[in-house]
Amino acid sequence: MLKNEIERVLTNAERLNDQLGSFLSIERGHALGRAEAIEDAAGELPLRGLAIAIKDNICTKDIRTSCGSRILANYTAHYDATAVQRLNAAGAVTIGKTNMDEFAMGSSNENSAFGPARNPWDPERVPGGSSGGSAVAVASGVVDVALGSETGGSVRQPAALCGIYGLKPTYGRISRYGLVAFASSLDAIGIFGSSAGKIADVLGIIAGRDPLDSTSADVAVPDYSAMLDRSLAGKRIGVPRAFFGEGLDEEVRAAVDASIENLRSLGCEVVDVELPHAKYGIAVYYIIATAEASSNLARYDGVRYGVRAEDAHELRQMYFKTREEGFGPEVKRRIMLGTYVLSSGYYDAYYAKAQKVRALVRDDYAAAFANCDFVLTPTSPTTAFRMGERSDDPLAMYLSDIYTVSANLAGLPAISIPCGLSSESLPIGVQLVGNYWAEGELLNAANIYGTEHPLDAKPLIHAE
């Protein structure tokens, strides 16, 4: 019975959460009620009974959406995000909301106001961020699919560190309605899966134009699941060799080099490509993203929703105290950076220039795709690092996303594929970036690669 299966999933989620901290809330009553209703429902439901976890910055009706922040600790949305609404209509069952870096600002999940999520391969290490909780929920075997969000790598990087698949779609492929905004020109809902096939099943349901999101694209949604298992013979893999230089861990380099040879053995042709402006990606990203965050987070002022500071006797004092008490250090840092780059006298020097370089990054990819089908890079420069290792070094933390941010800047789809284990049995991921709307081709490549070269290992902590 479906209800028994959902009960098993919930039991695993509850049992592992004390060790891994992947969920901020586990919705037992909601999930069992949904399972019962779905079991009795007539008609075809393509995701009937699929247990799914949702990142806690994606709105869910009558279920708390905290964004991992004290300032929204008691906020409950009165509507479902479009992606959630479409999952519900297809018969999926949300079992809970997952842990995350506060307002999706982080690369380790250590910035959550409610404590970190932990990597199931080694609980003393980070799972990556900001969608760490969703990655852990899939990697630990609690669910096969989870939704996350991406602004600069927040699906692909934790997918790599946790040994699973993580897809960031083309900007506009999935509606952002109901995704709490961080940086609106970069944000995207992404999908974690235990396999590329699972991601394909879900993407086909939630992708497509949404009149509630003006940035969603009116582009036909193919049958992604039907696009799997196509031959990779003749596909051209572009490799930017400059990405394999300083800062890349030697074991990661070796695993990614091996993945290139594995793709060659599957019939792919490997060619060199140049992405000359990608080296500016981190600098450009942390100007544009923080500027947009400064604007988007101005709404959290204690007036309309969320936490309101007590003992504030006039309006400005209430604004100040609410934001001081409600936001964590990393969010404050990014708001200040964003406010600075948008301020009078600095806008042209920083923000306007960053937008120009962003256009050059996009042009670099266009030139590369004239000669190849996919661009291949490492997903993360290192395997999962230890808790607290980079907490006092923001630059080192930001560089965790050095290989992922450029796809967000260009709005391109990209996927992280498990490609090996380090000598310490920590997962390593390889990234494929595709041209616009090439999610089906990326998922096909990931599916074939995973079938022919599976990871064949389970994390230390795993569901029964």
Catalytic sites, residue numbers:
55, 130, 154
Q: Where are the beta strands (DSSP E) in 152-274?
A: 165-168, 188-193, 236-239, 269-272
Query: Which H or E run includes 129?
Result: none
Measured CA to CA, the distance from residue 298 to residue 307 in angstroms comes to: 14
Q: Are 356 and 313 in contact (CB under 8 A)?
A: no
Say if CB 273 and CB 240 are below 8 A apart.
yes
CA distance 87 to 320: 39
Q: Which of 229, 166, 233 is nearest to 430 (CA)?
A: 166
DSSP 347: I
Give the separation between CA 203 and CA 188, rounded to whole angstroms: 13
Estimate the crossing angle of helix 196-206 against helix 82-89, to 10 degrees: 100
Tell me the C-alpha to C-alpha distance, in Å, between residue 429 and each of 194, 235, 315, 439. 13, 20, 49, 18
Q: Which residue has the tokens 């592992």?
A: 16
Helix residue ranges per DSSP H, 21-155: 28-40, 82-89, 132-139
Strands (E), 289-396: 374-378
- The residue among 45, 21, 208 whose CA lies nearest residue 115 is 21
Residue type, 269: E
Which amino acid would we find at residue 8?
R
